[in-house]
Amino acid sequence: MKKLLFATVMLLTSALSFAQQPADKIIGKWESVAGDVKLKFAIFKQDGKYFGKLLWASNMFEADGKTPKKDNNNPNKCLKNRSRQGIVNVTDLKFEKGEYSGGKLYNPSDGDTYSLNAKLKSENELHLRGYLGVSLLGKTMKFKRIQ
């Protein structure tokens, strides 16, 4: 009986050690639910913070539908010729007290960088709130998990 109990405890301890941390539940691929521009992001973790890579946007391509637009509105002249596709434009989100805050969102459409907070409403629903100055004056974008 003691051996069975010990084996069960060891098995549970092993399983829990490999379980995803609550903060890491944001990691994955996300697609916008509503809005003028449709978006797909891949959220990943690096050095204890969360970042988002822009995989696709409905306004990302030239009129031919194949050629990715350049980052022409970027305030950094060295980055104006880079492709919008694949840029990391969600940066430095930190997880504290059940929420993600302190991040930045670069919008290649206008070249502006916004403050960013995020909240997982459920395992498959993510809200990103971008704003300039005060969060109350910002905009919330809703995403669903696609992977």
Token output for 73: 């509105």
pLDDT at 36: 85
pLDDT at 12: 42
Whether the CB-CB separation of 25 and 120 falls below 8 Å is answered with yes
Q: Domain extents for the chain?
A: 24-145
Q: Is pTM beyond 0.85 here?
A: no
What is 24-145's CATH topology?
Lipocalin (2.40.128)
Q: What's the pLDDT tens digit per position in 87-101?
A: 999 999 999 888 899
Q: What is the dihedral of CA 90, 100, 32, 20, to 10 degrees?
A: 100
Residue 21: DSSP 8-state:
P
Residue identified by tokens 């449709």 is 38
Phi-psi sector, 99: left (phi>0), alpha (psi -120 to 50), beta: beta
DSSP string spanning 42-81? EEEEETTEEEEEEEEETTSB-TTSSSBPB-TT-SSGGGTT
Three-state DSSP class for residue 54:
strand
